[in-house]
Every structure is written in structure tokens, then in C-alpha cells.
Amino acid sequence: MVSDFEGVWEAFCAAGTTLGHTPGEREAWHRGRGRYALWLLRLDPGPVAERVRVMQERLGGLVRPGRTQDLHVTVFVCGFPAPVVHHDDDVAEHRLAQAHQDLQAVLPRAPELIVGGVNGFRSCAVLEVADPLGDLARVRTRLAQWSDEVRFEPFRPHVTLGTFPETVSVAPLIQALGALRHQPPLTWRPQALELVEFDARAEQPVLETRWRVHLVG
């Protein structure tokens, strides 16, 4: 669906193995800190959520799905909220509040997103998402005024279908995911942008909404 995602698929096919759970990895990441924050667009019931359900069903036990009510498109990764920043992946509480106030002052336009077929990162299977009018990119630019984003890969909007629970060869996954790559495009206009937090120490954390910003249009 999206040319940028063709490179993602090529990289997945060339990866050799998936990135499953590594003992001690989560502890090294959170370093004893609890809350982690990000802005997202939570999926509402409808055609996109139904596509997720069908794709998860067809992938069977190859992926480990998260909670249905936590399905989302990540917009901006903030980091660990803190009164005072100590680590490079901390975010100052007052910066989060300023971003929220900015969004509330001039409500963003609801992005018109296009949801396509299945692709794969080394850690998870995803649905591709495109932002043809640039609305999502504009929201990200606004949020970037208030804090630096914590990011290890280029931003590519997507819906996670499920994670790969173990480190395994990508060969059988290429066949399974490849059969689902091309799906009719679905148009989705989310109604709200949410700042959510989750417990970074939990193996399967719950996304809890802290602030909800209505989107216009």
C-alpha cells in the first residue's frame, strides 16, 4: 500500500530471525521507573478493528495479541514522565502539560488515515497505515515543540496485530504474513488523540488514558 513500507517488508524478509523476548531486556530499559507515556489514536469499533480481528485470527498462534481495547496507532513517544529529567528517555511533567494545553487551545484536525495490509517488524506483525494528507505529521510537529521524541527507528504509523513471543526464523512468517500483505484500503478518521501511560515493568501493560483531546472534523 505505502512505498515506505515496501522497504520494511524487504528488511523483514532479510532479517533471518525475529526479535523475541530477551531476559533482562525490560529491566535494563525501565531502570526501576514505572510510568511510560505516549500520544496515540485508539481504535474504535468499526472496519479497521474488524480487519485486525480477522488478520489476528488468520495468523493464529504466530503472534501474541494485546488487549483489544488497547489497539492503537502511536503518534508520538514521550518517555518516562518525571518532575526532574535525569535520563535521556525521561520527559519533564511540565512539558507534557504544555503540549496538552497547546493541543486544547487549537484542536487538531482529525487525520484521514488509510489502513492497508499486513507487514512485519522484527518484533511484531502490523497493519500498514498511511497519512496521505499529512495531518498526522502536523500533529507530530506540534508535539515535537514540547519534548524530544524517544525513537529508535523512523516513524511509520501502524497498528500492531501482535508480538512475536520467541526468537524464531522469519521463513514461515514470510509465507503467513505475505499472504495477507495486500488488502483493500480502509479510510479511518479517529475522533480523539490521547496521552496514555502504562506500567513499564509489566509484561502485558494496560494503556491508561491521562488526557483526551477531541479532534476536529
- The span from the CA of 68 to the CA of 94, in Å, is 31
CA distances from 65 to 155, 165, 204, 214 (A): 22, 10, 10, 28
What is the C-alpha to C-alpha distance for residues 217 and 207, in angstroms, rounded to an integer? 26
What residues make up the domain containing 118? 3-214
> Where residue 191 sits, what CATH number does that domain have?
3.90.1140.10
Residue 214 pLDDT more than 80? yes
- In this prediction, residue 150 carries a pLDDT of 86
**100-151: per-residue pLDDT in tens?**
999 999 999 999 999 999 999 999 999 999 999 999 999 999 999 999 998 8
Amino acid present at 12: F
Query: What's the predicted TM-score (pTM) here?
Result: 0.94
pLDDT number for residue 44: 93
Q: How many domains does the chain have?
A: 1
pLDDT band of 70, cuts 50, 70, 90? very high
Per the structure block, which three cell numbers stand in for 213? 483531546
CA pair distance 107, 86, nearest whole angstrom? 32
Q: Name residue, grid cell 519533564.
A: 92
